[in-house]
Amino acid sequence: MKDIDINELLTLKLPLRFKNGRFRVLMMSDLHGGPGGSPQLYDAVEAMVAHTLPDLVVVDGDTSWATDEKSQKEYLATLTEPFEKRGIPWCHIFGNHDHGYMPNEVSETVFESFPHCVNKRGDPEITGVSNYVLPVMSGDGTKPVFNVWALDSGDNMREFRARWGLPEDFWPVMPNYIYEGRDYNSVSFDQQMWYWQASLALEKYAGARVPGIMIMHIPIPEFKTVALNREACGYRGNQGESVGCGELNTGLFATALQRGDIRGIYAGHDHFNDFSGTYCGIELGYDGGMDYDCYVCDEVRGARVFDIDENDPANYKTYLVKIRDIMGAKGDNKHLPHS
């Protein structure tokens, strides 16, 4: 892992700054689009962006099933038109279903080719591709006030086993499992070490610890802690399926808790879940998902908004916006060609 370069952390294709003391992030995931997909997806994305008018859009994984650079470019040109035509900076994070169509390293170059895409290829020496931080600068541009962290949660435990040279019989899912008995991957130690070092570098530059949110596609096991302790965690929202975390707890929550700058951890992945709650002072929440072509739920379909105040960034406001509330019945699923 290379040393942290603060100038590299702070340099983005487009600047992210508070305007009149405010900054809004829109997080959406699980679009599962591509050639032959439902045209409703594009209408829903347009409606969501027009309704929320964010300063940054985060597309949190399971974005595309395109199988080559040409079809990926064509699909993304339509998908991202609501951001691009308004000049809104946007970024993406890879999900588990982004791993099977073409190499993420190749796909990343297509994403980054769009004028308003501000994410960067993460350090190639650490696990995953979409590991980066987007500092939101003060209104005068002199210092980072809030950080949006992106981490690549990978695909499954076979990928984890290959990455770390573990034996063929390695398998963390036991008959009497702790969480949900799933084989999904998660954020590895080297990614956590990068986050820790980058967070320290940003604190040193800003002169104070910089609060932020952390976003990855696959939820971590502590999401289930919230689901099982609803009253104690201030649970709100809907749980329509089990928490799709992996069985191997890689310790990300404890790392964030010890570092002390992360105010919330957010995920996609589970299309029927949009709940959130607070555990040990950190909120854990879903965004609901925007899918029309995989397994879908008209009642849940939507996105998550973060409203951040420059004078009190640690106490941002976050809430869900549902497609039904914006589009009514026109936003319900009518087309399932890939079901």
Length of the chain (residues): 339
Per-residue pLDDT, 97? 85
Q: What is the mean pLDDT of the chain?
A: 94
> What pLDDT score was predicted for residue 283?
98
> In angstroms, what CA-CA distances link 131 with 61, 119, 323?
13, 9, 29
110 belongs to a structural domain: yes
pLDDT of 262 above 70: yes
Indicate whether 1 belongs to any domain: no
Cα–Cα distance between 128 and 276 in angstroms, integer? 26
Tokens, residue 101 = 């169509």
Q: What is the CATH number of the domain that holds 228?
A: 3.60.21.10
pLDDT number for residue 220: 97
The structural domain count of the chain equals: 1
pLDDT tens-digit map of 214-260: 999 999 999 999 999 999 999 999 999 999 999 999 999 999 999 99
* CA-based nearest residue to 223, from 157, 296, 278: 278
- What is the DSSP annotation of 196-241? HHHHHHHHHHHTSPPPEEEE-SSPPTHHHHHHH-HHHHT-BS-B-S
Percentage of the chain with pLDDT > 90? 85
Helices (H) and strands (E) in the chain, counts: 11, 11
* Across 125-134, average pLDDT: 96
pLDDT at 128 over 70: yes
The model's pLDDT over 276-290, given as tens digits with 9 standing for 90+, comes to 999 999 999 999 999
- 53 domain residue, yes or no: yes
For residue 338, the model assigns a pLDDT of: 40
Six token digits for residue 297: 């739920």
pLDDT surpassing 70 at residue 339? no
3-state secondary structure of 166: coil
Pairing of strands 282-286, 276-279: antiparallel
Q: What percent of the chain has pLDDT over 70?
A: 98
Distance (Å, whole) CA 214 – CA 60 = 11
The answer to whether residue 304 sits within a structural domain is yes
Query: Considering only CA atoms, which of 71, 183, 198 is closest in space to residue 134?
Result: 198
CB contact burial 218-249 (16+ within 10 A = b; e otherwise): bbbbbbbbbbeeeeebebebebeeebbbbbbb
Q: Give a yes or no: residue 210 inside a domain.
A: yes
Smallest CA-to-CA distance from 116 within 47, 13, 23 is with 13
Q: Which domain covers residue 60, as residue numbers?
A: 6-331
In a domain, 178, yes or no: yes
pLDDT tens for each residue of 18-68: 999 999 999 999 998 888 888 899 999 999 999 999 999 999 998 888 888
What's the pLDDT at 336?
A: 47
pLDDT at position 105, please? 92
Task: For residue 195, tell me if it sits in a domain.
Answer: yes
Mean pLDDT of 303-328: 97
Q: Is residue 212 part of a domain?
A: yes
What pLDDT is recorded for position 145?
98
| pLDDT tens per residue across span 165-199 | 999 999 999 999 999 899 999 999 999 999 999 99
Q: What is the pTM of this model?
A: 0.96
pLDDT at 335: 54
